[in-house]
Amino acid sequence: MSGANRMIPPKELLHFLKKENDFVIVAHISPDGDALGSSIALSMALESLGKKTIVYDKDPVPEFYKFLPGSERFTASLSSLKLQFSNLILLDCNDAERAEIGKLQFTSSAVIDHHETARDFGDIKWIDPKSPATGLMIFYLIKELGVTVTKEIAVNLYAAIATDTGNFRYSNTTPGVLRVSAELVETGANPSYIAENLYETWTDSRFRLFLKVLNTLEIYNDIAITHVTLEMFRETGAAIADTETFSGFPRKLRSIKTSALFREIENNYYKISLRSKGRDVNVAKIAEIFGGGGHSNAAGYNIRSDFKAAKEALLKAFRERT
């Protein structure tokens, strides 16, 4: 299925969504615009069909995504998930571990995702690595369910697609993406309002952290490495969510093919974001070596180690893979 063409959701997924009446919609930890917008849009669509939904993410909605209409639907508390909600829909990831759902009980599960690294989870799977965003899949799913796309749904899906295409700059920006996005704009999504909220609303603490991060730049041939320490988070008051997009900046250098951002989230525990440009380096394959995953130009993993050893392990993986 190509991003340029209409996507057709599997029949068993449509059947599942039509037949069942209550759903827990869950997206991955550290949710981004695609995870959030897709979840809210699907929740709104299913509720317009008379279904009940709960929208869960282990992590809270970052401040700069709170402009998304319906963002208050997210709960971060598993205890609020009532037992009768037994149908799980996992979005923008394909493994329950990546959503850290813990002991959440469910009897049936469906996965809707576009990552190229896939685990064997879910009774019903719709995983299309060629899809530019989960939000695009949700758009076609909603249409197939016969739901009218409202302005609120349009804003969420546009933000989802904008996030995962780097605001329509990455190689996944297909004619299909632009056609669907144009339709979402006609339905009421305002590109400049959404772009302003996504990219022009940094807090002082986020900006101060960004300045510190840029000063950590190290270059190893065509690989750029930056890092954030726990102390930098403390000094600036910024949160981990504030580092979204930081990893892409060193890639702006003409000589750089790959960029890695190390964030210390606990003592000797790092979350790493990898970004590459062009087709030379598939960072999903590198992240997979360390138990993570993602897309060929954007991927991530976590590692328990000190910074020096973690960095050396990554550079070694690059040397051996490329």
Taking CB under 6 A as the rule, which mask of x and - marks residues 18-37 in contact with ligand 5GP?
----------x-x-x-----
Q: Fill in the per-residue mask, 95 to 124: x = in contact with ligand 5GP (CB under 6 A), - = not in contact.
A: ---x----------------x-x-------
Considering only CA atoms, which of 289, 229, 286 is closest in space to residue 260?
286
- Verify binding: residue 34, Mn ion, rule CB under 5 A: yes
Contact pick of 92, 95, 116, 244 for Mn ion (by CB under 5 A) = 92
Cβ–Cβ under 8 Å, residues 243 and 263: yes
Of 117 and 197, nearer to ligand 5GP (C-beta) is 117
Closest CA to 43 of 59, 27, 19, 62: 27
Question: Which of 57, 164, 242, 244 forms a contact with Mn ion (CB under 5 A)?
Answer: 164
Residues 51-76 as b or e (16 or more Cβ within 10 Å = b):
bebbbbbbbebbebbeebbbbebbee
Q: Of the listed pieces 51-59, 74-82, 151-159, 292-300, which binds ligand 5GP according to CB under 6 A?
A: 292-300
Residue 296 sits in the site that holds ligand 5GP (CB under 6 A): no
Q: Number of residues interacting with ligand 5GP: please give it, by CB under 6 A.
A: 17
Cα distances (angstroms) measured from residue 20 to each of 24, 41, 164, 214, 262: 11, 18, 30, 49, 42
Q: Is 128 in the site for Mn ion (CB under 5 A)?
A: no
Question: Of 244 and 264, which has the nearer Cβ to Mn ion?
Answer: 244
Q: Are 233 and 259 in contact (CB under 8 A)?
A: no
Task: Classify 166 as helix, strand or coil.
Answer: coil
With the C-alpha atoms ordered 147, 134, 5, 178, is the resulting torsion angle positive or negative?
positive
Taking the least distance from each CB to Mn ion, the nearer of 34 and 264 is 34
| Alpha carbons 95 and 163: distance in angstroms, whole number | 21
- 301 contacts which partner out of ligand 5GP, Mn ion, none, CB within 5 to 8 A by kind? ligand 5GP
Q: Using CB under 6 A as the criterion, which residues of the chain lie in contact with ligand 5GP when the complex forms?
A: 28, 30, 32, 98, 115, 117, 247, 273, 292-295, 298-302
